[in-house]
Structures are given as C-alpha cells and as structure tokens.
Amino acid sequence: MLAVVQPTKATHRGWLVQPFANNPWWCFFAAMPPALLATILIFMDQQITAVIVNRKENKLRVSDTAALRSAIIDSIHCDTHVTVTFYFYLLLLRLSARACGK
C-alpha cells in the first residue's frame, strides 16, 4: 500500500492543472468555436438517435413513468453538454498552447 498519495512529479506540479497559465490571450477565443461546434454535434447526434429509435415502426410503448424518466434524463443530458463543452474548451486550449510552442 502507498505511504503517500501525491502526483507523479509533485515538485513540478500539483493536483490541479491550470490550462490558462501559459497560453497567449487569443487562444481562449480561438478554442471557443470548435468547442461550441463539438457540443452542437453531440446534441444533434443524440436528437437524431432519438428520432430513429422513436419511429412508429419500432412499436415502442409509453410507460406510466415516461414523463418523470424523461425529465431526469433531460436534466442529466443538459449537465453533460455543459461539462463536455467545458472539457473541449480546455482541451483545445492545451492543443493551441502546444501549437504555439509553449
């Protein structure tokens, strides 16, 4: 068992990664459109899948708790989109920093 739980290179970095530390100012704005487009792509993928699954040919029945289940899934889905957008933004910031040579 480990005696101490710490990051791999504890002298160089801590537990939290700071994506805004060494990036030029324009990288923040350059990462926003691709992150937004990726979020829209994921949203459209989910919507198209829902349309295909819910076709009348599949003969799906609506249960008594469908509205409650739909509300729960929609709240999780909305939270997931916010999280995915944020992580895509951070990823693109790190990639743009590497492209800038930092």
Residue-wise pLDDT for 22-49, tens only, equals 778 788 888 889 888 988 998 899 889 8
Domain ranges of the chain: 25-53+72-99
pTM score, two decimals?
0.46
Angstrom CA distances, 72 to 2, 3, 64, 68, 86, stand at 40, 42, 15, 6, 22
Residues 100/27, Cβ–Cβ less than 8 Å:
yes
Residue-wise pLDDT for 60-75, tens only, equals 777 777 777 777 777 7
